[in-house]
Amino acid sequence: MSPPPSPAARPMRRELLEGPIALTLLRKCLPVVGGMIAMMSFNLVDTWFVSRLGPQPLAAVSFTFPVVFAVISLAIGLGIGTSAVVARRLGQGDFATVRRRATDAALLALAVGVLLSVLGLATLEPLFGLLGADAALLPHIRDYMGTWYLGAAAVIVPRVLNSVLRAQGNTLVPGLMMALAALLNGLLDWLLIFGVGPLPALGVQGAALATVLSWAAMTAALFWQRELRDCLDLRRLTPSGLMASWRELSRIAVPAAITSVFTPLALALVTRIVAGHGHQAVAGYGVGTRIEAIAQIGVLALSMTLPPMVSQNAGAGQHDRVRRAILGCFAFVLAWQLGVWLLLQLLAPWLMASYATSAEMAEVLRSFLWWVPLGLGAQGVVILAVSSFNALHEPTRAMRLSVIRLFLLTVPLAWLGGVVAGTQGIFIGLFLANALVGLVAWRSLSRRLDVARADTPSAAPMH
């Protein structure tokens, strides 16, 4: 008599292995888009409420953004590693190891969160003094980060738990959880920052507490998910097994976290290049980058949805299906972002009238909207290539692509363009950088997929 199926087998979804590729990815992307929009509201809502406290509290909270982003980048790296490892094991049908890796990933996230709490609180004042915060801002920063650091684990753990669900093909629950957390954050901001009834007004400390409580509530709600609980098992926890899991996770998580930090660093360098052309150039560029972030939501959602499909099918040996999924997504994002570019050209007069406060700023914004979004399709190819290399357990190649795009092409070409043709030259440089590295990414990943397909003894059945 055969043994009963592993509990981890119950949540095993077959859509990523068997469903129509395009339709499956579309269904999985929609909840992610909703969740991403909700997450964007976190900082916006916090900033709006804190701005009502005055310029010093707002400046203090602004100083915390780089540190907060660094922690979130680490959490993103852990999530990428977790998703890649769990999804591949699911594709291989190794459900016992799925439970081990998922459990140990959650424990690693908890351990990292506790470590960051200790280190963050111990270095709070020296760190922010080094970042340039003066004596007038440090009390506000202490209030905010003192609370935020205490809840670091609550910020990191749910991102890893959501990655376990996404690795199985469940994007609906993570999307709903993020939306509910964003709503709760907005409500708690109002209650805790200003105080209502018996609740005291906590100021910036209330903003940090609202964020921590929202993420903690999401974590608690996730543990009610049977699909997630079936992937967690503390009973078979051993030191050697824990170390094996952490080594496997870290091989992908550490390069992915470093890669996540590269993007804001490169953006800071480009902003410094733009700043050399005056305040109006910075203002126009700032508006443009916010529009750009919205224009990329579809690609970013796909970059979170495609990797589980890649990892599961690679684990199952369905390399031709992996190739079809990745190259199909490349073609889609090129067409999609071209449509977005056309839409932005139609909206450009309205955007300039709405946001530009001077003719010079309007000219900068118009130039940005023409050149930079024109390269977002190629940039989308790079983003998906980086995600796919991580999903294929090749994080070094993913990091190499990011370094080429950001530091060998984007920053140098933006600087050269600025020297030759001012702000328009900077934006042309950004477009050329994306176009060139997009070609590199497509060619590099296509070769990798060709090798994998050639090494497959026989074609897997197609669905």
Question: Vertex 109, ends 385 and 214: CA angle to 5°?
Answer: 95
Per-residue pLDDT, averaged over 169-192, amounts to 91
Residue 353 reports pLDDT greater than 60: yes
Give residue 461's pLDDT. Answer: 42
How far is Cα 145 from Cα 201, in angstroms, rounded to an integer? 17
Lowest mean pLDDT among 187-191, 264-268, 313-317: 264-268
Query: Cα dihedral sign for 249, 31, 148, 47?
Result: positive
Contact 135, 60 (CB under 8 A): no
Q: Which two tokens stand for residue 317?
A: 């040996």
Q: Which two tokens stand for residue 126?
A: 């020296």
Contact 334, 380 (CB under 8 A): yes
Q: Tabulate helix, strand, coil % of the chain (nearest 5).
A: 85, 0, 15
| Torsions phi, psi for 12 (to 5 deg) | -65, 115
DSSP assignments along 201-267, one per residue = P-THHHHHHHHHHHHHHHHHHHTT-HHHHTT---TT--HHHHHHHHHHHHHHHHHHHHHHHHHHHHH
pLDDT in tens, 201-245: 898 999 999 999 999 999 999 988 888 988 888 888 888 889 999
Left, alpha or beta for 19 (phi > 0: left; psi -120 to 50: alpha)? beta
Residue 143 to residues 50, 53, 189, 206, 382: CA-CA distances in angstroms? Answer: 13, 14, 15, 9, 40
pLDDT in tens, 419-459: 999 999 999 999 999 999 999 999 999 999 988 777 665 44
Q: Which two tokens stand for residue 386?
A: 């980086």
| Torsions phi, psi for 360 (to 5 deg) | -65, -45
DSSP assignments along 48-66, one per residue = HHHHTT-HHHHHHHHHHHH
pLDDT in tens, 317-346: 999 999 999 999 999 999 999 999 999 999
Residue 139 reports pLDDT greater than 50: yes
pLDDT in tens, 13-53: 678 899 899 999 999 999 999 888 887 777 778 778 888 88
- Rounded to 10 deg, the angle between the 152-167 and 55-92 helix axes is 30
What is the pTM assigned to this prediction?
A: 0.86
Residue 10: band (very low, low, confident or very high) from pLDDT cuts 50, 70, 90: very low
pLDDT in tens, 149-161: 999 999 999 999 9
Contact 434, 448 (CB under 8 A): no
